[in-house]
Structure 1
Amino acid sequence: MKMIVFDIWGDYGHFKKIYTTTSPLSYDFPPKTSIYGILGAFLGLDKEDYLKHINKNTVKIALRIKNPIQKTNIALNLIDTKKGRVKGPGFNLINGRTQIRFEMLKNPKYRLYVHLTDKLHSELKKLLEKHKTVYTISLGLSELIANFEYIGEFEVEKKISDNEYILINSVIRRDNIINDNINLKIDGEYLFSKIPNEMDENRITTEYIDIFYERNGELIICKVKEYYHIPELKENIVLI
């Protein structure tokens, strides 16, 4: 199997936790459901039907944290555009502004590993090689514009663990870790996070999973059921 590898980063990012409302908190990295949207923007798929083409049956994804996770709070002015409070043609004339503090990721950077079925795989590769997208990509909110760098397309080797410790570069599904058997470093910052992982075409979340990761993007030493090795990059990844 071949996987397309590229880095994506920005000044700020925000991937809203589903249980927060008035003071939105952010996941430390984009859930797979958010990555579906990023890939849809790359490929120019309409937001109303991109999930017909990008879903658990058509794509395989892994994610690596490249920059240490940092967060800050930023107040944003939200405006009501649905209740007809506009007095004139400009947004500056809208009443009913509400200031909300958002938890933002600061200088986030991630490496994405993607395998798509059919022609979408080759289309994504061509766009990345030319440093082009059809729609502007962002890190969660439309205002948080992202940049990216194509690393390459690589053959990956699926490995079945023989109950041995493996160095893993990516975040890891908890259900792929054998008996939570993890070799923790004293100076590591390890976390579990429950994230939305799949959604149907009506944008209703159908699966939540626990993800294990090291907050600074350091290697994780653990026993996993299966993983993928990329010889050219000397990286081991786990699909989410």
Structure 2
Amino acid sequence: MEKLIVFDVEGDFAAFRDPSITTNQTVYCIPSKSAVIGFIGGIIGLNRGHTCNDEIYCPEFVQLLEATRIGIRFNSTPRKITFFTNHRSLKKIGVKPFKMELLCKPNYTFFVETGDDFAKRLWDALKNRRYTYTPYLGHAYCLARISEPHLTNAKEVDPEKKVVSTVVLDEKSETFATEPAVSLHPDADNSRLVIERHLYHYVEKGEIKRIVLRHLIPIEGSKFEINKIQKERRFTKFVKIEGMSDEEAICLF
């Protein structure tokens, strides 16, 4: 049996930017794994920037990323607002409009599996509501509200034919594979799914590597059955937690 830390996160707005788009601020429905690791790091007080000399990532952040798997349940409907701001043009006199998006009323459940030291620090911060840095969702003006923190036992299971309501990571890169590594089937007629491509960060031989992978996102309580999934998986594992039926599982990545 393993222990997971589970907690809900919501806010009025979220702004998890798509880094591949530079001409405007296009936002995702969910945070990437590295964004969640940064969220956790802010809660427990990991240092960054001027404290890490010339390194982009401080060693403790790399350790946290390597030691941690996360699961995300997207509990709300993806609804975005678009607005424009005027930016000064560097090429000519005047201003140019810049499109911005915000995700409205996001609500997530995070499932966290990590090393003992990080788990203790995170759990102490959550249960005592003592966060080193203010939690936010993508941008500092998108403040996050954290609720319902609890611990639960988890047991690894075979994901074949299991029903999931959490984000599922497709481990095959579309650049190199013609078929996806996982196939989902709606568990009900009203089940809905969003697919996003995120930059997935992982640690290999002490260095952070990156790859673009598909994230399959059931929305607002939707459930999907795993029809097919590759047997050998590098990043993901599936677990059953307390109170969950034998037919269900959570994807951790």
TM-score range, shorter chain: 0.7 to 0.9
**1:204/1:151 CA distance change after superposition, 3 Å:** closer
Q: 1:143 is matched by which residue type in structure 2? A: Y
- CA distances 1:184-235 after superposition (whole Å, capped 9, x unpaired): 34433323221111067xx976122111122334112223455100023556
Quote the residue 1:182 is aligned against.
184
Alpha-carbon shift at residue 138 of structure 1 (Å) = 0.5
| 1:14 to 1:188, Cα distance in 2 relative to 1, 3 A | same
Secondary structure in structure 2 of the residue aligned to 1:193: strand
**Aligned: 1:231 with 2:242:** yes
Aligned residues: 222
Q: CA separation in 1, counterparts of 2:209 and 2:144?
A: 25
Point out the more displaced range, 221-230 or 2-11: 221-230
Contact 1:40 1:47 in 2 (8 A): no
Q: 1:168 aligns with which of 150, 153, 164?
A: 164
Letter in 2 for 1:152: H
Report the residue type matching 1:117 in the other structure.
G
The separation in 2 between residues aligned to 1:44 and 1:77, in whole angstroms, is 35
The alpha-carbon distance between structure 1 residues 53 and 150, as it changes in their structure 2 partners (threshold 3 A), is farther
Alignment partner of 2:42: what SS? helix
Q: Which residue in the other structure is 1:15 paired with?
A: 16
- CA-based RMSD of the aligned residues comes to 3.0
Deviation at 1:78, TM superposition (A): 6.5
Residue 52 of structure 1 deviates from its aligned partner by: 2.8
Contact 1:79–1:98 under 8 Å retained in 2: yes
Supply the AA of the counterpart residue of 1:214: P
Q: 1:89 — aligned with what?
A: none
Change (3 A) 1:65 1:13: same
Match of 1:124 among 122, 125, 140: 122
Structure 1 pair 121–168 and aligned structure 2 pair: CA distance change class (3 A) = same
Per-residue CA shift, 1:25-62, capped at 9, x if unaligned? 1111001011111011101111332523321x211111
Alignment check: 8 A CA contact 2:76 2:106 kept: yes
8 Å CA contact retained: 1:198, 1:206? yes
1:199–1:16 distance in 2 versus 1, CA, 3 Å:
farther
Q: Percent identity?
A: 20
Pick from 201, 206, 228 the counterpart of residue 210 of structure 2. Answer: 206
Post-superposition CA distance 1:87-129 (Å, at most 9, x none): xxxxxxxxx9875321111000111011221311111101111
Q: CA 1:147/1:183 → structure 2, altered by over 3 Å: closer, same or farther?
A: same
Shift of 1:73: 1.1
- Secondary structure in 2 aligned to 1:238? strand
The letter for the 2-side match of 1:142 is A
Q: Which residue of 1 aligns with 2:62?
A: 52
- Residue 73 of structure 2 corresponds to 64
> TM (normalized to structure 2)?
0.77
Q: Note the residue ranges of structure 1 that are not aligned, 5 or more in a row.
A: 81-95
In the alignment, which residue of structure 2 is the partner of 1:106? Answer: 104
User: Aligned with 1:67: secondary structure?
Assistant: coil
